[in-house]
Structure 1
Amino acid sequence: MGSYLVNATFQSKITEEADIIVGLIYTVFGICSLCGNSVLLYVSYKKKNLLKPAEYFMINLAISDRGMTLTLYPLAVTSSLSHRWLYGKQVCLFYAFCGILFGICSLSTLTLLSTVCCLKICFPAYGNRFRREHGRILIACGWAYAAIFACSPLAHWGEYGPEPYGTACCIDWHSSSVNTVAMSYTVALFVFCFIIPCGVIVTSYTLILITVKESRKAVEQHVSGPTRMSNVQAITVKVFENLCS
């Protein structure tokens, strides 16, 4: 009876044709992600002595995305094409752990990058103090932050389990509706790994756009004609140079 329940849990809940389509889409995305991120890492390695502080975040984003591609896509593709999860409960935990770890790390990296860009453009007195060692420390903090939330279900604050459609694994959403501890983890995950990071990203880039717009207006008020246009373009170029300096 127990074996039957496990098999039923890991059986796909969607049609076989839909699973094949999903598997093919995963394959295309996986190949594109692997090739793109590998090229970025190779180029970064070749010019490692010329890297600017903010570029470390792009490298870390490529590392986390590549990690997700290598650990998740092969399992997801083969399971989708087989119309069921093939690898049992322990690998299901590993799959879910990697998904949360690399996913939160990628979002944390984007959040840190947006914050650093905002400091450099909107608050240059602080942003210009940013150095390589600061970037490395922030990246380490991003991995630690992701590891805390990824390890928590393994310590039974929250639970990992199969996705409702049956061919992948993630947070056990059903347990969140019946277990207070699991629900508290889901709420914390939603707030600290989605709402706050997205809020910081939106706020940072909004401030950048406002700063660029105000700088452009200031130039247009003091100069005119071709000189105005060239100065506006110079400001725009300078802004984007600062983003990666």
Structure 2
Amino acid sequence: MSSAHYDCTLSLTDFCSKETERVCKLICLITSTGTEMLSPTGFVVLSVALGFIMTFGFVNNFVVLLLFCKFKTLRTPVNMLLLNISISDMLVCVFGTTLSFASSIKGRWLLGRIGCSWYGFVNSCFGIVSLISLVILSYDRYSTLTVCNNNRWPDYRKPLVAVCCSWVYSLIWTVPPLLGWSSYDLEGAGTSCSVSWKVRTAQSHAYIICLFIFCLVHYAASDICM
């Protein structure tokens, strides 16, 4: 197969016959946006899946929040971490999934560059918060089983500090793309955004490596080893 590069700024007829013009348009679309367009049926399936995730995720986590507020017996130190996970997941459904759901219905991203950066930021930020909270929760359960604790009264200070640290740490690694270190861009079918995985620059590569080491591999390994 020829590896010739098509210049999308020129007329398609310079390279293609009428029979292959549609193919060349698709090639130009993919190479210029970095995304692969789905068929109409594909967008319908994607919309249904996102709608289910958005609705079920919001309702489920909102119920957890209501139960936590209603029953004082649930307000234990360890449940503070579970509440943090529920809040971050619910915020993803509200501020992130709703945007990709609406875009999937229309078959294209609807909110432009600024909206794409916002979507990529909130999904990355809330996702990392949930990941860190799960690791802290695992460590707490490990400590409970292996360390003898004679304290009669629950200690809320450590969980609250852990919750605050999870948000600060997440912001440290998700704000830089908004300030110029890498960026957030369209991905997949062109109806959602994430870190620019395909940009081939030293800055982008450095950010992706740091993101994997300090936000994914590091915490995943910690969780497995506990």
Give the alignment's TM-score, normalised by structure 2: 0.81
The separation in 1 between residues aligned to 2:143 and 2:195, in whole angstroms, is 35
- 2:191 is aligned with what amino acid? T
- Indicate the residue corresponding to 1:220 in structure 2: none
CA contact (8 A) 1:12 1:83 kept: no
The separation in 1 between residues aligned to 2:87 and 2:62, in whole angstroms, is 9
- Indicate the residue corresponding to 2:22 in structure 1: none
- 1:143 is aligned with what amino acid? W
Q: Secondary structure of the equivalent of 1:148?
A: helix
Q: 2:38 aligns with which of 14, 22, 38?
A: 14
Q: 1:138 aligns with which of 162, 179, 185?
A: 162
Aligned residues: 198
**Structure 1 unmatched ranges of 5 or more:** 205-245
CA contact (8 A) 1:16 1:83 kept: yes
Moved over 4 A (4+): 125-130
Q: Secondary structure of the equivalent of 1:157?
A: coil
The separation in 1 between residues aligned to 2:136 and 2:153, in whole angstroms, is 15
- Indicate the residue corresponding to 2:77 in structure 1: 53
CA contact (8 A) 1:65 1:106 kept: yes
The separation in 2 between residues aligned to 1:127 and 1:189, in whole angstroms, is 38
- Indicate the residue corresponding to 1:165 in structure 2: 189
Computed over aligned residues only, the root mean square deviation of the Cα atoms, in angstroms, reads 2.3
Give the alignment's TM-score, normalised by structure 1: 0.75
Q: Taking structure 1 as reference, are residues 29 and 92 closer, same or farther at Cα in structure 2, changes over 3 Å only?
A: same
Q: Secondary structure of the equivalent of 2:77?
A: coil
- Indicate the residue corresponding to 2:100 in structure 1: 76
Q: Deviations over 1:79-114 (max 9, x none)?
A: 111111111111111000001110100101101111
Instruction: Among all aligned residue pairs of Structure 1 and Structure 2, give the percentage whose two residues are the same amino acid.
Output: 25
Q: Taking structure 1 as reference, are residues 110 and 50 closer, same or farther at Cα in structure 2, changes over 3 Å only?
A: closer
Q: 2:48 aligns with which of 12, 24, 27?
A: 24
Greater helix fraction, Structure 1 or Structure 2? 1
Shift of 1:78: 1.1
